[in-house]
Amino acid sequence: MSDLMQICDNCGYFGPQIDHGQEIECGDDGACRKNPPTILPMGEDGGFAAIFPPVNREDWCGGWKAVER
């Protein structure tokens, strides 16, 4: 068992928020990449966006996986 706290910041599925290939600076927030992104309608023009669930570095869940270094 790992000595790491099982929080998003120490999880192999945690990553930065990305928008059109660019990392978004959002403080302690990031995205959970354990599952595929959710497709959401965006704006009135009928466009769509693929969004990974936003999470805080201090969040946790039952799907935690140790970061491989």
Q: Is residue 68 part of a domain?
A: no
The verdict on residue 69 lying in a domain is: no
Q: What is the pLDDT of residues 44-65, one digit of tens each?
A: 888 888 888 999 999 999 999 9
CA distance 46 to 11: 35
d(CA 49, CA 40): 5
Is 61 inside any structural domain? no
Whole-number Å distance between alpha carbons of 5 and 50: 29
In a domain, 28, yes or no: yes
**Does any domain span residue 67?**
no
Residue 62 falls inside a structural domain: no
Q: Domain tally for the chain?
A: 1
Model confidence, pTM: 0.74
Q: Which domain holds residue 24?
A: 8-56
| Per-residue pLDDT band at 68 (split at 50, 70, 90) | confident
